[in-house]
Amino acid sequence: MRGIKEQDLTLDTPQQGVVLVVEPLLPQRIRRPSDALRFLLTLMALACVVLLALALQRTLNGLETDVQAGTGRAPDLLSSVSGLLGGVAVLIVPVGFAVERVFHRDGMRIAQGLIAAILALLISYALDEWLVMSGPAELKQLLTGGRDVEPLNTVLTPAIAYATAVRMSRRTQWRALMWMALALDVLALFTATKVTALGVILTYLVGLAVGFGTLYGIGSANTRPPGSAVLAALRRLGFGPISARRVEDDSSGSRRYLVGLANQRHLDVTVLDRDRQVAGIIYRLWRRLRLNTETRRRAIRSLRAELEREALMAYAAQAAGASLPRLLGTSEIGTEAALLAYEHIDTRPVQELPDEDVDDELLGQMWEQVRLLHAHRLAHRHLTGESIHVDATGRVLLVDARSGEIAAGDLLLKLDIAQLLAYLGTRVGAERSVRSAAAVLGADTLAGALPLLQRIALSRDTRAATRKNKDLLPAIREQIVTLKPQVEVEEVRLERFSPRTLLTIIASTAAAYFLLTQLSRVNVVSVVATANWMWTGIALVAAAVSYVAAAIMLRGFVPESLPLGRTVLAQLAGSFVKLVAPAAVGGVAINTRYLQKRGVPPGPAVASVGASQLVGLASHILLLLFFGYVTGTQAAPSLTPSRGLLVALLGVAVLFLIVLAVRPLRRLLTSRVRAMFSGVIPRLLDVVQSPRKIIEGVSGTLLLTIAFVVCLVACVRAFGGDLSFTAVAVVFLAGNAIGSAAPTPGGLGAVEASLSLGLTVAGLPGTVATSAVLLFRLLTFWLPVLPGWASFTYLQRHQAI
């Protein structure tokens, strides 16, 4: 036992004597995670209200007019009385609460409230000055109604912040008085037209945010029961503690005590503090949102629910015959904490054992414990090195059953197996991990868990380890397939969405916003109605030819024979997939799948598509340089490249240097290039042996680019524009490159912006450029969606993709 300092002792005074609880002195004030969560949620609500107000300006202005008209009909006597009572009550109620708390020697709470009120006053005053002097005109109009009023009321904001910081909401009578005072004051402000509806809402939210921020920043009084209260609760359970000391907290931050009893036995006591129930809530909410229903855990549980859950899991595991420390009793400690008392066993966590000590016998015991739990439909859900322990005799015990599930479904049981396979793989390698599991559970059970060997399914520490060792999970899968070669793996989707999908949604939203702003300047109906139909027809034919060209290009890079008709349908199906995938991804995935269904092995299929992409990229760059050079010579007889081309090339070079300088971006680029073009060179060598294939691939590549350029030229001519073919080619090639790099579906937003800007810079009027680009995208992106869907359905029905 470590040396005991005076401040580390908590005295407990039972009838038979004094028990010293060795623990660090509990802090007088703590920062509660719940206050931080409320602060963040209030800021999010504030941002949402402002965005909705800006999006619904007309509706809000109409609502404001109705509210002013309704309150304007209030009798003058009512307005005067509410103004007098509300103005006085907003000041009197906080003062009365402060006096009452001072008499109860709770002055620190009042000081905290005063700090929040002062901060709220300063913040609201600063926001008012900013909004009036230089804020957005639309927001200023919504908050003031065009009148000489405060956007945020500098009296209500401090009052709300004060009430929040002193936690007045926990005192029923004072809360009712405060709400009554605020309601009277708001009514008086409305009848005097001194406030707007949006101003009241934002005033309330700003006051809440300042109050919660002050609570978290300064901290709240520590209500956690000390060690003496823990011993008192143990006595009520019939135990006779004679010593106690605080040991290291568990992985969830719960306090743990080692308590000695009179009969030479010891207890391991876990204390669940109410203020810790929302610790890590952001991560848990993210996991709950991201994972499917069967795999996610509840993000927030009450203290009582957490106590009952852990106790029930402990009792169920004991009944199943699994080796867990025996739960001897549970109890609440007042209203702020609860405890679970386990029998004490001297153990070491497996994560502290050297790798060489993790022998086959130990591995077999771990899997035997899993088998016992799963036989009774119990899922542990946290099988890691910190929750698997070994006692002095070498016996394996499982701890930390708080996150477990009773009556678990097959999916959760398989997740347990996948988690332990991955963790043991980080310690003893994939081969020993799988072999030890198969010896206890059998190959069929391991094969069932094969689809769940996904990084997202693992615990945080194991995920981090597999991120460093990227070959581990594939090696484990390979070992399982070796044991069960005939296994049919059905894909199990655990994620609702990936971070990449979230990024795509955000980018798509930004693209949609851009398109809406563009469409607000152009009447789409007039775009179609006023377009020259002859040039529109030429553009439509060129857009159709592009799909034939894409099919010819793909056939040229596949040594195997491909029917032209179905290959064209596959390219049309790719146009449908572009609605949900970035431009550079959808077509690659469809073509790879199509080749595999035509009997091309997966490796050569990926290599063939990669070869077509590589040659397409090279031809794209060469054509961009060629047309840019020709454009420059047309503009200047001196045979020097145009200034625009030089600026574009320099911009691309700078962007490329930035990507290479930033390590994460460099890794992403190299991994993408390696994944796309690995095996391409051998595939190209196969193609080079056939002159017909070379001609087909190159001609298809050139025809694809020419078809798109002709389509865009025809769209420009359809609205009376006059640009040279080479200038439009440069604009298209640059814009298409940007669209392929954009993460939005089909390059949505990025293509429109780059093409419109390029055509405008090339000399077209802005309205003509926007109309031409919208018609071009209508013919090449939106119009093919329906035939693309039909092609996708047809190919799926005939097992072609």
Backbone angles phi, psi at 168, to 5 degrees: -65, -20
Q: How much of the chain, in percent, has pLDDT values that exceed 70?
A: 73
402: exposed, middle or buried (Cβ count in 10 Å: 0-12, 13-18, 19+): buried
Q: What is the DSSP letter of 278?
A: T
374 vs 746 pLDDT, higher one: 374
Distance from CA of residue 505 to its chain's centroid?
A: 11
* Structural contact between residues 412 and 294, judged by C-beta atoms closer than 8 angstroms: yes
pLDDT of residue 7: 42
Q: What is the pLDDT of residue 388?
A: 93
Q: What confidence category does residue 798 fall into, taking pLDDT thresholds of 50, 70 and 90?
A: confident
Helix %, strand %, coil % of the chain (to 5): 65, 10, 25
How far is Cα 468 from Cα 744, in angstroms, rounded to an integer?
29
Q: In what order do the strands lie in the sheet with 241-247?
A: 9-12, 19-22, 241-247, 255-261, 266-273, 337-343, 327-333
- The residue among 11 and 124 whose pLDDT is bigger is 124
Each residue's pLDDT tens digit, 70-95: 555 556 655 666 666 766 778 788 88
Tell me which amino acid residue 586 is. G
Give 461: exposed, middle or buried? Use CB within 10 Å, 0-12, 13-18, 19+: middle
**Comparing 732 with 631, which gets the higher pLDDT?**
732
Q: Which residues touch 780 (CB under 8 Å, ≥6 apart)?
A: 543, 546, 708, 711
Q: Where are the alpha helices (DSSP H) in 643-722?
A: 643-661, 663-677, 680-688, 691-718
pLDDT of 618 over the 80 cut: no
- Cα separation, 730 vs 562, whole angstroms: 33
Task: Please count the other Cβ atoms lying within 10 Å of the Cβ belonging to residue 638.
Answer: 7
**CA–CA distance, 571 with 45 (Å, rounded to integer):** 45
CA distances from 146 to 8, 71, 139, 199, 731 (A): 63, 18, 11, 13, 46
Instruction: Copy the structure tokens of residue 796.
Output: 């799926």
pLDDT band for position 285 (cuts 50, 70, 90): low
The string of pLDDT tens digits covering residues 566-579 is 888 888 888 777 66
- Other CB atoms within a 10 A radius of the CB of residue 257 amount to 23
Task: Output b/e per residue, 270-297; b: 16+ Cβ within 10 A.
Answer: bbbbbbbbbbebeebeebbebbeeebbe
Query: How would you class 27 by CB atoms within 10 Å of its CB: exposed for 0-12, middle for 13-18, buried for 19 or more?
Result: exposed
How many CB atoms within 10 Å of residue 460?
11
Cα–Cα dist 158/405, whole Å: 46
pLDDT digits (tens, 9 = 90+) for 634-688: 443 333 344 444 445 455 555 656 666 667 766 766 665 555 555 555 656 565 5
pLDDT band for 279, please (50, 70, 90 cuts): low
* pLDDT score recorded for residue 389: 94
Residue 522 in contact with residue 771, Cβ under 8 Å? yes
CA-to-CA dists, residue 670 to 102, 349, 560, 675, angstroms: 66, 40, 29, 8
577/789 Cα distance (integer angstroms): 8
DSSP code for 715? H
CA 143 to chain centre: 33
Please provide the DSSP assignment of 723-748 as one string: --HHHHHHHHHHHHHHHHHSSSBTTT
Q: What is the mean pLDDT of residues 458-466?
A: 87
More confident site: 589 or 446: 446
Confidence band of 184 (pLDDT split at 50, 70, 90): confident
Query: Reduced to 3 states, what is the DSSP secondary structure of residue 620?
Result: helix
| Token pair listed for 643 | 């200034």
The pLDDT, as a whole number, for residue 94 is: 85
| DSSP element (H, E) containing 19 | strand 19-22
Burial of 398 (0-12, 13-18, 19+ CB in 10 A): buried
The closest of 464, 371, 465, 351 to 417, measured between CA atoms, is 371
**pTM score, two decimals?**
0.59
What would the DSSP string read from start to end of 378-396? Answer: -B-S--STTTEEEETTS-E
DSSP string, 748-777: TTHHHHHHHHHHHHTT--HHHHHHHHHHHH
SS (H, E, C) 446-473: HHHHHHHCCHHHCCHHHHHHHHHCCCHH
Residue 174, pLDDT > 80, answer yes
Residue, of 561 and 80, whose pLDDT is higher: 561
Cβ atoms within 10 Å of 661's Cβ, excluding its own: 9
Distance CA 9, CA 23 (A): 6
CA distance 293 to 347: 35
Tokens of 602: 């997966």
Q: 76-80, 129-133, 294-298, 339-343 — which one is most confidently predicted on average?
A: 339-343
SS3 494: coil
